[in-house]
A and B are shown apart, each in its own frame.
Chain A
Amino acid sequence: MADTIELEIVTPERLVVKDKAEEIQIPGRNGYLGILPGHAPLITELAVGEITYVNAGVSTSLSVAWGFAEVLADKVTIIAEAAERAEDIDVPRAEAARERAQEQLKKAEDAAQFDEAYLAIARADARLAVAKKQ
């Protein structure tokens, strides 16, 4: 069995990552998943969070907002609505978005508005967490 997995992350705009990895962590909708080479085939929806992968001892993180992952024994393909590397993240913007969302959360009147604001905070948090790791 190979000791690395191929990883591909695709967004509507481009191919963000095409790399090899020894270990991958993805934010599944039901919780984070750790993936090592030889994983059983799996399909899952992704939540808002961060994808971390380790290649030759170097760990890389990306923030991701909703996506979809296919895991095979030697390959992981992720389609995501947005995926950003730490260096691409605009920290002031993410912070501003977080504050805006918090305001909305306070003003939220129904469940839908509450959910929306909550999701926006989660997205901003994921971005900020990834940006900090740089």
Chain B
Amino acid sequence: MPNVLDIRRRIRSVKSTRQITKAMKMVSAAKLRRAQERALAARPYAQLLTNVLRSLVQRADVTDPETGKAQHPLLETRPEQNIVLVVVTGDRGLAGGFNSNLLKAAQRFLDSKSGVNVDVECVGRKGRDYFRRRYPAQPATEERGAAVRVTGEHLGILKVPQFSHVSPIAEDIIDRYTNGEIDAVYVLFNEFKSVIAQRLVVEQVLPVGSIGERDIEQAIELSTEERERAGEAATSAGVSLEAQDTTEIDRHAATFATAPVDYIYEQPAVTLFRALLPRYVIAQIYRAMLESVAAEHAARMTAMDSATNNAGELIDSLTLTMNRARQAAITKEIIEIVSGAAAL
């Protein structure tokens, strides 16, 4: 029979762990709320940009009428030989399967693109660590028949993703595309609509396809179980399950640059188009990061809620064992006394 004192010590330790996980859950819930607000605040900009682009596409020729070639290098499609994969993970762990699911999906993506050179841009420490270990400095791994290189590491920008931090990363990728160094750009991230509506997606951002439509290569939805867990965690932390109401913002933004009037264009449509297209791509990448941050907090909140529940169960079962052990000890003592008395 285990020692009562030992069990008591164990219970105390589990209790303090539970306190920590509970606190972490509440912190994540608060951070999640803020991240959601930020993602919401970014919507009008992206939406407005999309609208102008859309209305411009109708007015300007996006392909050269004579040669049939795209007017802008970002619209050009080439056979994929060198591609960039932007992997948006978290900087920190303790978020359940958040990071490992992302990395598993990244690996699957790399496997599906065998024979293609992939440059990986890591956003977040967890992804950086993984790719560094998996694909150390020497390029050209035999199994794939093509190289995987880590070309960029961006740590610490996810705490509060700022546009001014994200845009240089995106600009660098756009430059590489324009120079023909790469033929396609994919972003792997956790899409976040609400706590129970999330999915892991690989989105193609370059070449630009149809404006305003998203080009999802792969998507993994939450399982029903995961969704239920996340729902419970959110309810107990006071986070709304509903996706935020964006209809007002979207409706408002939808009118931008689409009024049924004849606009005076200060610059030729093609010039405007050229200025807007890179911004459109940057806005997409920015959005990916904002959503990923919200998803990370949601994942951590759920994980910590589970941990808190598990700790509670553990404490219950330990208390039971402890009581049993104490009872056994008392019974033993009584037997000793009684049999001692009987022996007299």
Contact = CB atoms under 8 A, between A and B. Distances in A.
Interface string B254-278: 0011010111111100011001100
Interface in A29-65: 29-30, 40-45
B266 A43 contact: yes
B45 interface: yes
Contacts of A28: 266
Which of B257, B271, B276 has the most chain A CB atoms inside 10 A of its CB?
B257
A68 B44 CA distance: 13
A15 B44 contact: yes
A21 B52 CA distance: 24
B267 A12 contact: no
A16 B279 CA distance: 19
Contacts of B48: 10, 68, 77, 79
A12 B286 contact: yes
Contacts of B262: 41
Interface size class of A (residues with CB under 8 A): 20 to 34
Contacts of B263: 41-43, 70
Contacts of B44: 10, 15, 79
B309 interface: no
A40 B38 contact: no
Interface in B7-37: none
A102 interface: no
A66 B162 CA distance: 17
Given A13-B162, A43-B272, A72 B261 contact: yes
B60 interface: no
Contacts of B42: 12-13
A132 interface: no
A82 interface: yes
Interface of A: 10-15, 28-30, 40-45, 66, 68, 70, 72, 77, 79, 81-82
Given A44-B265, A68-B52, 20 more contacts: A10-B48, A11-B163, A12-B163, A13-B162, A13-B163, A14-B41, A15-B41, A41-B262, A41-B264, A43-B263, A44-B267, A45-B272, A66-B275, A68-B48, A68-B49, A68-B276, A70-B257, A72-B261, A81-B279, A82-B163
29 contacts: A10-B44, A10-B45, A12-B45, A13-B38, A13-B41, A13-B42, A13-B162, A13-B163, A15-B41, A15-B44, A28-B266, A29-B266, A41-B259, A41-B261, A41-B262, A42-B263, A43-B265, A43-B266, A44-B265, A44-B267, A45-B266, A45-B267, A68-B276, A70-B52, A72-B259, A77-B256, A79-B45, A79-B48, A79-B52
